[in-house]
């Protein structure tokens, strides 16, 4: 005996999500059947709406309903700084800090020779074009992740942008606030020592 | 800056699923936006369909599109045995064994005084009615989980059904096939010794 068709299809759909295997998908599918009807309808609607109503901002690549996005069209923001991130959700992390008031640019990935991802596969051309068209930009802050690919991408961007006379900076590496030196890995510790500041 | 409304709603929907917190929900929502459009539409449709087209079988409580379910309406199955499980998905586990050809009954839960769940909160009344109406049933196999609640439920069912002259059996406890005695807990080991069979 197989599962009834509707639940078999729902299990298959759940399995298309990252990190969800057959066991978890089955558990989620049975849970869905027991859920409130309105919640399920709302879930289905939000799936459709997220796919249909969201686009990438034609300027910065952020996810948005209107084009350009709320940040790009906010003229009160500092137009002289662009912070470069890997993914749209990194923008939310930065915004939650409430201290950065410049613009953003989303790469939608990183350079990765192993995965065959070169400069033309991520959102770099539009960044260069943006810098050429807007000479009020004085600084590009590269906030790619502290992974080998993130570092390589930061290095690539720096070499590409610096010759145009624009300042290129990178987020500081060091100990997490509240963390214990005991638990820091050697590379982080080295970066923390190298980047030490005077008190 | 908050997330655009469609993605905020999708994150909220994902968070209603069990074991999915804010971080995972956000990751899944952003993944959904990058998914193939047809896959997302299919996902939404399967959610609606699973909730709308699936019901509980009026005889055994299994999940089904038609009532009675495929197992209850299959007259070639052994009508003299009913295997009692906690949840519909347990039926699939039993069926995957391909050795049991009798009928099922789904309790949709277990007795749990701590959670205030008594006999009237799970599917017991319909089981008793079924046994009264079908005197061809000779054996009830209780396949509740090997938890305290599962054991208590099995005991309760046994006391309820035995006086009617119906044989009540319980799944064997013991070592998992392929498992190491070293790693078995004491209670399992005790059950394995108690239930030893002659070779």
The DSSP secondary structure of A108-137, one letter per residue, reads SS--BGGGTB-GGGTTTHHHHHHHHH-TT-
- Closest Cα of chain A to B197: distance in Å? 32
Q: Residue A13: its chain B contacts at CB < 8 A?
A: 39, 42-43, 46-47
A and B: number of Cβ contacts within 8 A: 147
Q: Compare A146 and B158 and report the one with higher pLDDT.
A: B158
Q: Does the structure show a pLDDT above 80 at A197?
A: no
Nearest to A64 among B4, B12, B89 (CB): B4
Nearest CA in chain A to B3: A92
User: Is the Cβ of B187 closer than 8 Å to some Cβ of chain A?
Assistant: no
pLDDT of residue A41: 95
CB A81, CB A105: distance < 8 Å: no
Cα→Cα distances A76→A20, A68, A102, A141, Å: 42, 15, 9, 19
Cα–Cα distance, B104 to B111 (Å, whole number): 19
Per residue in B124-150, pLDDT tens? 999 999 999 998 999 999 999 888 899
The pLDDT value recorded for residue A1 is: 60
Look at residue A183 and tell me whether its pLDDT is greater than 90: no
**Nearest residue on chain B to A54, alpha-carbon basis:** B6
pLDDT of residue B86: 94
CATH architecture observed for domain B77-171: 3-Layer(aba) Sandwich (3.40)
What is the residue extent of each domain of chain A?
5-53, 77-171
Is the per-residue pLDDT at A37 higher than 70?
yes
- Each residue's pLDDT tens digit, A94-144: 888 888 899 999 999 999 989 999 999 999 999 999 999 998 999 999 999
pLDDT of residue A192: 80
Residue of B nearest to A4 (CA): B64
Mean pLDDT of A11-25: 94
Class of domain B5-53 (CATH, top level): mainly alpha
pLDDT computed for residue B1 by the predictor: 60
Residues of chain B with pLDDT under 50: none
Give CA separation, B13 vs A25, A31, A194, in Å: 16, 13, 45
- Looking up tokens 């309903």 gives A65
Q: Mention every residue, 6+ apart, whose C-beta is less than 8 A from residue A199.
A: none
Tens digits of residue pLDDT in A160-169: 999 999 999 9
Percentage of residues in chain A having pLDDT higher than 70: 99
Confidence of residue A154 (pLDDT cuts 50, 70, 90): very high
């Amino acid at each position: 005996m197989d599962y009834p068709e509707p639940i078999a299809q729902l299990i298959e759909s759940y399995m298309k999500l990252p990190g969800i295997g057959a066991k978890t998908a089955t558990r989620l599918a049975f849970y869905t059947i027991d859920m409130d009807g309105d919640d399920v309808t709302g879930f289905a609607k939000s799936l459709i709406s997220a796919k249909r109503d969201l686009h990438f901002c034609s300027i910065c690549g952020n996810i948005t309903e209107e084009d350009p996005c709320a940040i790009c069209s906010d003229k009160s923001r500092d137009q002289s700084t662009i912070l470069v991130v890997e993914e749209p959700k990194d923008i939310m992390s930065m915004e939650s800090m409430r201290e950065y008031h410049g613009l953003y640019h989303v790469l939608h990935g990183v350079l990765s020779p192993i995965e065959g991802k070169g400069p033309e596969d991520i959102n770099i051309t539009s960044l260069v074009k943006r810098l050429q068209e807007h000479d009020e930009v004085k600084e590009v802050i590269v906030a790619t992740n502290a992974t080998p690919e993130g570092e390589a991408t930061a290095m690539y961007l720096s070499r590409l942008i610096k010759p145009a006379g624009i300042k290129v900076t990178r987020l500081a590496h060091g100990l997490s606030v509240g963390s214990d030196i005991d638990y820091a890995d050697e590379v982080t510790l080295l970066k923390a020592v190298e980047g030490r500041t005077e008190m």
